[in-house]
Structure 1
Amino acid sequence: MTAPSSPITVALADDQVLVRAGLRALLQAQGIQVAFEADDGQALLDQLARTPVDVVLSDIRMPGLDGIGALEALRARGDRTPVLLLTTFDDADLLLRATEAGAQGFLLKDAAPEDLREAIARVAAGETLLQPVSTDPVRARYQFHQQDTPRETFSEKEVAILRLLAGGYSNKEIARSIFLAEGTVKNYVSTILEKLGTRDRTRAVLKAITLRII
């Protein structure tokens, strides 16, 4: 009989006490252990230096040192702990900054408990989640202007590749998933970026979500 695996440990950072209490209750109900809580980015950094965890679950917006600032400081000191940022997805620029700073993913604050657990487990396992759990709130809260709408349509294969990009898959992993050569996938990705008028995969995914392409 195999021994049960250890629970995932999480550091929880949010400046609102009630939000932290709610998240702690949800996490514990999902079998995830909250190692400690912090009410700002600096407190998070200080406690992480003493108490390592599997995943950091942090709000983006906090007074003082915010979630992105804490992430940048964490990476600057060589700490590679996966960071999952909580967001209402009302500011795409913040998400792009967070990705560039080294965030492993984003989670909508109104995500369902089972989605919360899945996202944390996937990030703890080394995956990257560029697409928030639920896309409907994304589209409702953040709309591109009409002139941002791509003029060209997307094939089923391009949509499939976009969805895999949103899941953080590499070109090689996408190639294996849909039985294409890696070079062919690279060409598809280049075409997708061109059609969306974006210069990188992250921006392409964010724009594709808001435009209801994926």
Structure 2
Amino acid sequence: MTCLRLALVDDQALVRHGLRALLDGLPDIEVVVEAADGEALLTALDAQPVDLVLSDIRMPGLDGFALAEALAARVPAPPLILLTTFDEPDLALRAAEVGARGFLLKDASPEDLHEAILRVAAGETLLAPVPTDPVRARYAYRDQAPPSDTFNEREISILRLLAGGYSNKEIARSIHLSEGTVKNYVSEILDKLGTRDRTRAVLKAITLRII
């Protein structure tokens, strides 16, 4: 397999170097561009094309959201995964709205980061708006019967957004589907989980480690 060419963007040098060391230890990945802000990254891409951009959100100058919009205007547009240390669900929705293909907290495990990079590079959208471990630690949904069927990647993405408290309209906007299509997906998710509403569906999905 050919190595994926990555660009890494973070205004904090220590964080950037730490991520670089982590990424260099992952198979099938090569960091070919490092930048301290969005503007520097765009300039570097003129000389060195990449397969995926991994960027912090909060940076001086051109931040991660503005960078996402700038990358979307390029041809070809490399997919972007945004990273943040701030556990704020609204950030994930904003990331989706500006065209980012992935959103992860910086405390994600190396395995999760590696999987996210490979999946986004392959064309998937990966949003993780809320951490599920704290919920799983505090709540265990009483009905732990397995779902009636497996879940596809689209349904998993919608479940994650449901866990973030997003409405059908917000989900539709973030993953580029009609509101009616999202409503149908949600109904199918509830049926598979055997639950009556979205809250119960999310709690059961977290309990069963579906998300």
Matched, 1:69 2:66: yes
Question: 2:47, 2:18 → 1: CA distance?
Answer: 25
1:104–1:130 CA contact under 8 A, matched in 2: yes
- The CA deviation at 1:186 is 6.3
Structure 2 counterpart of 1:125: 122
Taking a change above 3 Å as real, the CA distance of residues 167 and 95 of structure 1, as seen in their structure-2 partners, is closer
Question: 1:27, 1:56 → 2: CA distance?
Answer: 12
Q: Secondary structure at the match of 2:8?
A: strand
* Cα deviation digits, residues 58-100 of structure 1 (max 9, x gap): 0111111100100011113344211111123522222111101
Alignment of structure 1 residues 46-57 onto 2, 5 Å: 46-57=43-54
Any stretches of 5+ residues in structure 2 without a counterpart?
137-142, 160-179, 191-195
Match of 1:22 among 5, 18, 39: 18
Structure 1 counterpart of 2:193: none
- The CA deviation at 1:136 is 2.1
Structure 2 counterpart of 1:149: none
Structure 2 counterpart of 1:166: 156
Match of 2:9 among 8, 13, 27: 13
Question: 1:189, 1:19 → 2: CA distance?
Answer: 38
Taking a change above 3 Å as real, the CA distance of residues 90 and 26 of structure 1, as seen in their structure-2 partners, is same
Taking a change above 3 Å as real, the CA distance of residues 34 and 163 of structure 1, as seen in their structure-2 partners, is closer
* Cα deviation digits, residues 91-136 of structure 1 (max 9, x gap): 2222111101111111221122222211111111111112369632
Structure 1 counterpart of 2:105: 108
* Cα deviation digits, residues 155-182 of structure 1 (max 9, x gap): 965996597523479xxxxxxxxxxxxx
Matched, 1:87 2:84: yes
User: Structure 2 length as normaliser, TM-score?
Assistant: 0.67
Matched, 1:136 2:133: yes
Alignment: residue pair count: 173
1:57–1:85 CA contact under 8 A, matched in 2: yes
Question: 1:43, 1:27 → 2: CA distance?
Answer: 20
Structure 2 counterpart of 1:143: none
Q: Secondary structure at the match of 1:50?
A: coil
Any stretches of 5+ residues in structure 1 without a counterpart?
141-152, 170-182, 198-206
Identical counterparts, % of pairs: 57
Q: Secondary structure at the match of 2:46?
A: helix
Question: 1:103, 1:54 → 2: CA distance?
Answer: 14
Taking a change above 3 Å as real, the CA distance of residues 8 and 184 of structure 1, as seen in their structure-2 partners, is closer
User: How big is the alpha-carbon RMSD for the aligned residues of Structure 1 and Structure 2?
Assistant: 3.7
Question: 2:63, 2:181 → 1: CA distance?
Answer: 40
Q: Secondary structure at the match of 1:33?
A: strand
Taking a change above 3 Å as real, the CA distance of residues 186 and 60 of structure 1, as seen in their structure-2 partners, is same
Q: Secondary structure at the match of 1:94?
A: helix
Taking a change above 3 Å as real, the CA distance of residues 131 and 159 of structure 1, as seen in their structure-2 partners, is farther
Taking a change above 3 Å as real, the CA distance of residues 23 and 159 of structure 1, as seen in their structure-2 partners, is farther
User: Structure 1 length as normaliser, TM-score?
Assistant: 0.66
Question: 1:115, 1:128 → 2: CA distance?
Answer: 14
2:89–2:129 CA contact under 8 A, matched in 1: no
Structure 2 counterpart of 1:145: none
